[in-house]
């Protein structure tokens, strides 16, 4: 299915998609003391994940083991509501209201894992349902397709028996290019020692892992910050984060500058976002075509929401 597309633009701050490439070799930091601590954790014979005998110690320095066969269903959505004031040469030209949204489901399955690294990850993209934004439509090459992301000597992305196209590789590696290394978001949290009130180090891959793909947003350079609030180790180890930041979406000559914040919960073993509820404000500027009136200046305000929900199977 075709997905609606918006032209991406540079974002407001530094460090949310489609331009970020994946890593092609495991990072040296995978053998850091933290990673060694994780690797030394013992797993039961049935392959289930273990927790430290001392939860308070686990919260600070280790995580449950990454295992083969873990599978999850993720649902992502975003919505934008806005009001525009139209004018031409300083004269008022009316008010325009608008809405935009997208929704997507996808399934993730770990096909192979070793030493707390995911070496093979299956990503099944569901249909991407999206509305146009001021006439701009967004299409993605991954819609309703399944890919195997693997790492041996380099990152490899396959769709069935066919190698993914350059456009598909770009889209998939933007969020999953860390395969072969420790998960980008997992590693960032462990580097922060899972300590409460500690800000994690952001990077293009951490941005993408945390927020996921958003139409028209340059995820790699989104200005996102995240701080660890708490970690719980009952069952799977989960970190609660406070997330805040800003980015821009551009539709033709109209720019939507977005600031948002809210909570997120991240599964520590995989680095996958289990839940996220970000809300924020939108400032709209630029120009748009209005029928016989021609090009008109626009300014306005709006609201933006971004949510993610993941359920392990």
Q: How many CA atoms lie less than 13 Å away from 87 in the CB half-sphere?
A: 10
Residue 132 is encoded by which pair of tokens? 């146009």
Q: Does residue 16 fall inside a structural domain?
A: no
**In the block, which residue shows the tokens 């033709």?**
252
Confidence at residue 94, expressed as pLDDT on a 0 to 100 scale: 87
Nearest to 27 by CA among 247, 186, 190, 181: 181
The total of structural domains in the chain comes to: 1
Q: Does residue 9 fall inside a structural domain?
A: no
3-state percent helix, strand, coil for the chain, nearest multiple of 5: 15, 50, 35
Cβ distance 153 to 273 under 8 Å?
no
Give the range with max mean pLDDT: 45-54, 93-102, 201-210, 299-308: 299-308
Cβ distance 241 to 266 under 8 Å?
yes
Q: Does residue 198 fall inside a structural domain?
A: yes
**Which positions ≥6 away from 176 have C-beta within 8 Å?**
22, 121, 123, 149
CA of residue 76 relative to chain centroid, distance: 9
Lowest mean pLDDT among 147-151, 250-254, 275-279: 250-254
Q: Does residue 131 fall inside a structural domain?
A: yes
Q: Whole domain around residue 104: which residue ranges?
A: 28-312
Q: Average pLDDT, stretch 72-76?
A: 96
CA distance 309 to 119: 24
pLDDT in tens, 120-173: 999 999 988 888 888 777 788 999 999 999 999 999 999 999 999 999 999 999
Cβ distance 276 to 264 under 8 Å?
yes
Q: Does residue 11 fall inside a structural domain?
A: no
- Give the Å distances, CA to CA, from 81 to 201, 214, 279, 301: 31, 16, 12, 9
pLDDT band at 64 (very low <50, low <70, confident <90, very high): low
Q: Does residue 230 fall inside a structural domain?
A: yes
Confidence at residue 30, expressed as pLDDT on a 0 to 100 scale: 39
């Amino acid at each position: 299915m075709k997905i609606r597309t918006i032209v991406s633009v540079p974002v407001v701050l530094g460090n949310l998609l489609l331009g970020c490439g994946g890593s092609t070799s495991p990072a040296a930091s995978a053998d850091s003391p933290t990673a060694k601590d994780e690797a030394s954790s013992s797993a039961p014979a049935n392959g289930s994940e273990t927790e430290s005998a001392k939860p308070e110690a686990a919260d600070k320095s280790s995580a449950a083991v990454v295992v083969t066969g873990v599978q999850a269903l993720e649902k992502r959505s975003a919505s934008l509501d806005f009001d525009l004031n139209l004018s031409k040469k300083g004269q008022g030209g009316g008010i325009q209201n608008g809405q935009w949204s997208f929704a997507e489901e996808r399934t993730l399955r770990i096909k192979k894992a070793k030493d707390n690294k995911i070496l093979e990850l299956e990503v099944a993209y569901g249909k991407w349902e999206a509305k146009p934004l001021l006439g701009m439509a967004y299409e993605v090459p991954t819609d309703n397709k399944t890919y195997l992301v693997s790492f041996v000597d380099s990152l490899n992305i396959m769709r069935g028996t066919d190698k993914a196209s350059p456009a598909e590789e770009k889209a998939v590696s933007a969020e999953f290019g860390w395969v072969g290394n420790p998960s980008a978001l997992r590693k960032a949290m462990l580097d922060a020692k899972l300590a409460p009130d500690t800000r994690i180090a952001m990077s293009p891959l951490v941005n993408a892992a945390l927020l996921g793909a958003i139409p028209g947003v340059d995820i790699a350079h989104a200005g996102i910050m995240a701080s660890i609030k708490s970690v719980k180790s009952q069952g799977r180890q989960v970190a609660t984060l406070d997330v805040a930041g800003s980015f821009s979406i551009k539709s033709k000559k109209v720019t939507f500058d977005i600031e948002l914040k809210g909570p997120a919960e991240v599964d520590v073993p995989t680095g996958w976002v289990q839940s996220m509820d970000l809300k924020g404000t939108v400032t709209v500027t630029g120009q748009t075509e209005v029928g016989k009136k021609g090009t008109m200046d626009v300014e306005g305000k709006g609201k933006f929401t971004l949510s993610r929900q993941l359920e392990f199977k």
